[in-house]
Structure 1
């Protein structure tokens, strides 16, 4: 049974109630319905950080990690977004059950991202480490804009410290010269949006300062026009 918005007992986090309900629903083909906004009990348990309630569901339903929530988010996406205490272990458990979750995308057909990108965009270094531990090649993925995790990290407000931390991971050197769908490398984005350019990128031998994007702009072109752009209020990457 559900309430007026379609929620079940999972939303409240009452583990004893969830356990009792699961004892009654030991049919492995039982369907766990979503509420009116597309959230399943499994998704809600993860999003809310109810580890014990999620474990009770997992003990009955053997393939729950396929079940998505809003915007095609899986429970793994929910865990990475929220980063509640204890959810890092849940991420580990999920990836032990099904590693391919790390490669599933969330979002719409034209605007999507991955769990690794989400962790980077939230500045969740511990989640990134957990994902890499189970899926060491997930760093190489791009989102619907063709952006790698370094592109995404640069767009953070306080990007400098986080980018410096990323460069302690060996793979980051391989991302410095990768262009997104608009031809922008991480250095292009730094030139457009970064008040301070981390030396780890600026002095990196792979950082090509004269690479053109699809607007025929190099990072140096963008940097030289940035003051003018800020005054005018336009975007230096499309000016």
Structure 2
């Protein structure tokens, strides 16, 4: 069979055609170019109403003009005013992605145009609450559930974002399709002043992020100690919740390490119970820190909540199991081994009957030795009736193949 036989001849009457629904254009080349450069005369005395004049993706004259602007000035609003005088409904008209002119002005950082559009919306109705129409326009979302504020923050236009927040500080912005709230975006991008502005002026700002995270996860991820403190002060315990993998901000700090020591202390001072929260595998933050070899964070967690060392994950692993099999056992193991109050962990078995010494015997690349510790029972048997010495003599080391037990899904 000819390799091209499955491709239909486009000249034949049987060739499949793409769906043309919603793709017809009423915008001629001349009018498109006039819209791009802001020539108002081209739109005088045309037969078709301006709100029926759009491209194949439903972009109106205003969408084209705002997108085309390179450098902004107050004079750039003159064309917009003249067009809206001719057809006020274009202020609200969306393209095929549900984007209003305000969305585009916010995306491209055109603050003079953003301000003009908002004032124009306020003047639509001569009622005592002139801001209602403007607020409704600010709340409008695209197909991806982005508001104008989402657009401004995602494209780093802080002046525009500040203006939008000022217009309606009490609105609790919902997450977009990516799960991002404006507060989360601002924290993730380390816009400290804007974050403070939101927290100081908004009564109940939404703080969610992708994958069930919160703005506090983002603050820890960016090592934003100042923002961590502010978030805890303003939003309280609700923001310490776990993400979809069960990771609290403390889990994330424990994974990231030394740069998060200040954040770790703030989290523990705010609510020690966060140290006892388990992820979906049953692991607490101490387990994460022990596996990653972050001895300073381990010490901070143990100092605040010493009895959290008694907790085990779904396999029955305690902090010493994680430390001995982790990335830097020479740093993590001494934190537990040299703390006499934690001596009970030295011979604790997991669900397979393995103590930390069994794990040491399984891995060739273990840096820390428990074999000669006076409180370690070298003859304790696991469920296969093997002790650590048996494993060593049987030559069952895994030749340096440590398994990665912990991964962090961060972007």
Range of TM-score over shorter length? 0.7 to 0.9
Other-structure match for 1:173: 343
The structure number with the bigger radius of gyration is 2
1:1-49 per-residue CA deviation (whole Å, 9 max, x = no partner) reads 545734321110010111112233223xx542233x3222121111221
Please list every run of 5 or more consecutive structure 2 residues that lacks an aligned counterpart in the other structure: 1-148, 155-175, 404-411
TM-score (norm. length: structure 2): 0.50
Q: Which residue of 1 aligns with 2:378?
A: 209
Return the alpha-carbon distance in structure 2 between the equivalents of residues 147 and 98 of structure 1: 25
Look up the match of 1:104.
Answer: 277
Q: What is the aligned-residue RMSD (CA, Å)?
A: 2.6
Counterpart residue number, 1:156: 326
**How big is each residue's C-alpha offset from its partner over 1:36-77, in whole Å with a ceiling of 9 and x where there is no partner?**
x32221211112211222223223212244322241111111
CA contact (8 A) 1:26 1:60 kept: no
CA distance in 1, matches of 2:271, 2:372: 39
Match of 1:51 in 2: 225
Alignment of 1:125 with 2:302, yes or no, is no
Q: Which residue of the partner structure matches residue 268 of structure 2?
A: 95
Q: Is the 8 A contact 1:154 1:194 kept in 2?
A: no
**Alpha-carbon offset, residue 224 of structure 1:** 1.1
Once the two structures are superposed, residues 104-163 of structure 1 have per-residue CA deviations (whole angstroms, 9 ceiling, x without a partner) of: 012x2xx23111111101101110111122112222221221111111111125434543
Deviation at 1:195, TM superposition (A): 5.1
Q: TM-score, normalised by structure 1?
A: 0.82
SS at 2:306 equivalent:
coil
The superposition leaves residues 151-180 of structure 1 with CA deviations (integer Å, 9 ceiling, x where unpaired) of 111112543454345422223422111110
Distance 1:145 1:34, change over 3 A: same
Query: 1:142 maps to which residue?
Result: 312
- CA distance, structure 2, for counterparts of residue 92 and residue 213 of structure 1: 38
